[in-house]
Structure 1
Amino acid sequence: MHIRPITPERLVTELTDRLTERADHVAEARLRVGVDGPSAARPEDLAAALIDPLRARGRPALHVRTTDFLRPASVRLEQGRTNPDAYYEGWVDEAGLRREVLDPAGPGGSGRVLPSLWDATTDRASRAAYVDLPAGGVVLVSGPLLLGGALDFDVTVHLALSPSALRRRTEPEQRWTLPAFDRYADEVDPASFADVVVRVDDPRHPAVVEPSASA
């Protein structure tokens, strides 16, 4: 395994290159990209940073956050507000995310994507309008605990933090989620299979994890 330091700006450029090239091979469909990482890694910031460069390359792009696809509070918080197992197993409405985003953006899909399903602040449907994502477009879904489950992505990006960095950078009010990320690392190990793995212990100095060259 090789660790290659990279600037945040260069990371965005390289990911834009990679996604644009991959989108060329799904010209009749859309590219579904999962940007996975704990809140401390700010996956939504990376996904948002890719939108304008992709559009500049002629690729319609849409960013969807899993925080806009949470289950209603009555379901999400049934086992308590700070239950790490419930957070790990069922806070996100994965069925809704598949139905409204990933399936329409996938092969044979209509391209009619709903960018937001649920407003967790009001605990009501967001009533967002559908967006038509043309063929060859890119939808970036950002959030924690995205990989290794039932969500279909064409490209996966995992933002990795060491255990100490994760604990250091997680806000005090969110530290109850840490056992969920320990479980995710043990049971799923997203860094072992994601298409792109980026270490972000220090967000100012990310590093791309690359497989070692074959002997």
Structure 2
Amino acid sequence: MRLEAITWERLGDALAERLLDLAPADGSPWPRVAFDGAPAARPGDLAARVADALRIRGRSSLTVGAEGFLRPASLRFEYGREDAEAYYGGWLDTGALWREVFGPLEATGNGRVLPDLWDPVTDRATRSDYVQLSRGGALLLHGSLLLNHWFPFDLTVHVSLSPAALRRRTPEDERWTLAAFIRYDTETAPAETADVVVRADDPRHPAWNAGQPL
């Protein structure tokens, strides 16, 4: 895969331009985009940049963090607080995401999306209000391990870190999660299957595959 150097600002603009012409294959009026990456890769920062670039271009969007759809602590930590197996496949409430985010954005949906459901810090429901996404508005969902779940994304962006960079930039008390990301790279291969790959080993100097087929 050939990567080209780019700035974060130009990358946000390039992805926003691509979204302006993106037509979901299932007939939905709402493009659904994944910004996938380990927490250390900060995929949410890129999602926010794209949202700003879309706003400047007169296109609405809704940025949703997958961490707002984690399962309650009693379920996440059923096998301990540092169980990489549970982190890999059991932390995310995929049913809630399908029901509250993807379902409303189907071709026959109403566009009313719940931006978050559960606060993992307080371990309580967020009680957030639903947000009406206008037709043509894009869902920008960011989080970790997103390409594991067969969500109906129309564009997938993976912010990649080399194993060394991932370890270096992951806080020591979170390094138990590294085994989950090694498994993810092996089983899902996001750097090979995502539509757009961004290498962010040096956070000041990203590179990308320019959205070309891998």
TM score, norm. by length of structure 1: 0.94
| Match of residue 195 from structure 1 | 195
Q: Distance in 2 between matches of 1:80 and 1:171?
A: 19
The aligned counterpart of 2:12 is: 12
Which letter does structure 1 place at the counterpart of 2:99? R
TM-aligned CA deviation for residue 27 of structure 1: 8.2
User: Matches of 1:12 and 1:211 in 2, distance apart?
Assistant: 13
User: Which residue number in structure 1 is paired with residue 164 of structure 2?
Assistant: 164
- Displacement, 1:57? 1.6
Shift of 1:52: 1.9
| Partner SS state of residue 191, structure 2 | helix
Gaps of 5+ in 1: none
1:114-133 to 2 correspondences below 5 Å: 114-133=114-133
Q: Classify 1:201/1:115 alpha carbon distance in 2 versus 1 (closer, same or farther; 3 Å).
A: same
**Structure 2 Cα separation of the partners of residues 189 and 213 of structure 1:** 15
CA distance in 2, matches of 1:188, 1:213: 17
**Are 1:177 and 2:177 an aligned pair?**
yes
Partner of 1:103: 103
Structure-2 separation of matches of 1:12 and 1:30: 19
Cα 1:159–1:123 change in 2 (3 A) is same
Identity %: 53
**Matches of 1:141 and 1:211, distance apart in 2:** 18
- Contact 1:29 1:109 (8 Å CA) reproduced: no
Alpha-carbon distance in structure 1 between the residues aligned to 2:64 and 2:143? 9
Pairing of 1:35-46 with structure 2 (within 5 A): 35-46=35-46
Q: Distance in 2 between matches of 1:197 and 1:41?
A: 12
SS of the residue aligned with 2:79?
coil
SS of residue in 1 equivalent to 2:166: helix
Give the distance between the partners of 1:164 and 1:59, measured in 2 at CA: 38
| CA distance in 2: counterparts of 1:32 and 1:44, whole angstroms | 15
Q: Does 1:76 align with 2:76?
A: yes
Partner of 1:3: 3
Q: Deviations over 1:125-164 (max 9, x none)?
A: 1100000101101010000000032322111000111111
The aligned amino acid for 1:12 is G
Cα distance in 1, alignment partners of residues 135 and 60 from structure 2: 9
- Please tell me whether the aligned partners of residues 195 and 211 of structure 2 are also in contact (alpha carbons under 8 angstroms): no
State the partner residue of 2:58. Answer: 58
Write the distance in 2 (CA, Å) between the matches of 1:163 and 1:96: 31
User: Structure 2 unaligned runs (5+)?
Assistant: none
Change (3 A) 1:13 1:152: same
Give the Cα separation in 2 of the matches to 1:103 and 1:188: 24
Other structure's SS at 1:202 match: coil
Do the aligned partners of 1:2 and 1:211 also contact (CA within 8 Å) in 2? no
Question: Whole-Å Cα distance in 2 between the matches of residues 159 and 165 of structure 1?
Answer: 12
Deviation of 1:2 after TM superposition, in Å, equals: 1.2
TM-score (norm 2): 0.94
Q: Partner of 2:34: helix, strand, or coil?
A: strand
Following TM superposition, the consecutive aligned residue runs of length 4 or more in structure 1 with deviations greater than 3 angstroms are: 23-28, 210-214
| 8 Å Cα contact 2:24/2:154 also seen in 1 | no
